[in-house]
Amino acid sequence: MSSDLEEQDYTDQLEHDDELWNPGHRACAGCGPALAMKYITEAAGENTIVANATGCMEVISTPYPESSWGTSYIHNIFENAASVAAGVEAAYQAFDRRDPDHLDVQDEDDLNIIAIGGDGATADIGFRALSGMMERGHDVLYIMYDNEAYMNTGVQRSSQTPFGAETTTSPAGKESIGNDTNKKDMASIAADHGVPYVATASISNPHDFKQKVEKALEIDGPKFLHVYAPCPVGWGFDSAKTVELAEMAVKTGLFPVFEMEDGEITSVNKIRDREPIDEWLEPQGRFKHLFKDEEKGEAAIEELQEWIDKRAEDLGLDA
């Protein structure tokens, strides 16, 4: 992947449009999720309604009376972005059928309804709302931005926190190696709901991510996109390295990039010479304990590597 990036010129696709995700928001320097918001709005365009969950992206983008959102936007609570979006979609279905002149809006078919939530708001507390939205078949694109913990509240673990990561609720200690679970596989869970289009993407490849947003929005029914978006503050790395760390997560196979259509894997971004995971772990403060205690650290890294290798094999990740 990285070699492709170096060889090809994507300059024209990377021209940025600040109209729909305005500068001046309160995100930290080097924020991965803020880049994701920029790419989402650029790809979706103005005929879009965004329903956002409580979390970093909501708090940094809508400090009243200011807003970064150039699209229609609604935030309600932490765990219901999928349901709020489903309600919006139902309302437009009703307007379309009952009273097309009710509001000055375009045809419901041309309208993009996107729900956005962080990993906690999606994979944990908002899981029921997401499951219901997907199962009922609402014409909504759900995008989970994954920064691997509850960053808005100060770095507590979520079900997307990787094995061995230290967070404030999974601290490393005499008896603990940090977080003791692996990332919940949200893409497969979404696909198992019968969702016609499921994909993963990384902010390190905006071209790929935006194409997937565009592709998803062309499809009727529920869509699920899992976008990888590092957090310099929560992970403890230099804020200039966000894209690099996101790219490295892809190159190590920790975050496989693929598409699933009608439950089947239809494309996988193959990796030549997959990097060992410690290359990715080492620059991050949240894993530094793994390199202090050699014996415990090595065992933990090995366990994480085995999990990655197993998934890589299942997905046919290696080129």
By the criterion CB under 8 A, which residues form the site for other proteins?
Answer: 46-49, 51, 58-59, 62-65, 67, 69-77, 79-80, 83-95, 97-99, 102-106, 111, 128-129, 131-132, 135-136
8 Å CB contact between 96 and 45: no
Minimum distance from residue 147 beta carbon to other proteins (Å): 19
The residues that bridge with 200 in the sheet, in sequence order, are 226
- 10: how many CB neighbours lie within 10 A of its CB? 13
Comparing CB distances to other proteins, the nearer of 125 and 281 is: 125
Dihedral, CA of residue 174, residue 177, residue 178 and residue 181, to nearest 10: -140
Minimum distance from residue 13 beta carbon to other proteins (Å): 24
Distance of CA 11 to the CA centre of its chain: 23
Minimum distance from residue 50 beta carbon to other proteins (Å): 9
Give the separation between CA 91 and CA 179, rounded to whole angstroms: 42
Minimum distance from residue 178 beta carbon to other proteins (Å): 31
Dihedral, CA of residue 20, residue 149, residue 227 and residue 200, to nearest 10: -160
Give the separation between CA 56 and CA 34, rounded to whole angstroms: 9
Give the separation between CA 181 and CA 183, rounded to whole angstroms: 7
Please state the φ and ψ torsions of residue 127, each to the nearest 5 degrees: -60, -40
Comparing CB distances to other proteins, the nearer of 65 and 273 is: 65
* Cβ neighbours of residue 307 closer than 8 Å, sequence gap 6 or more: 163, 182
Q: What is the biggest distance separating any 2 CA atoms in the chain, rounded to whole angstroms? A: 69
Minimum distance from residue 284 beta carbon to other proteins (Å): 29
Residue 113 is encoded by which pair of tokens? Answer: 């309804």
Give the separation between CA 309 and CA 254, rounded to whole angstroms: 9
Minimum distance from residue 132 beta carbon to other proteins (Å): 4
Comparing CB distances to other proteins, the nearer of 84 and 190 is: 84
Minimum distance from residue 113 beta carbon to other proteins (Å): 9
Comparing CB distances to other proteins, the nearer of 136 and 215 is: 136
8 Å CB contact between 26 and 59: yes
Comparing CB distances to other proteins, the nearer of 48 and 204 is: 48
- 187: how many CB neighbours lie within 10 A of its CB? 21
8 Å CB contact between 142 and 83: no
Comparing CB distances to other proteins, the nearer of 129 and 312 is: 129
Comparing CB distances to other proteins, the nearer of 111 and 290 is: 111
Minimum distance from residue 71 beta carbon to other proteins (Å): 6
Comparing CB distances to other proteins, the nearer of 70 and 236 is: 70
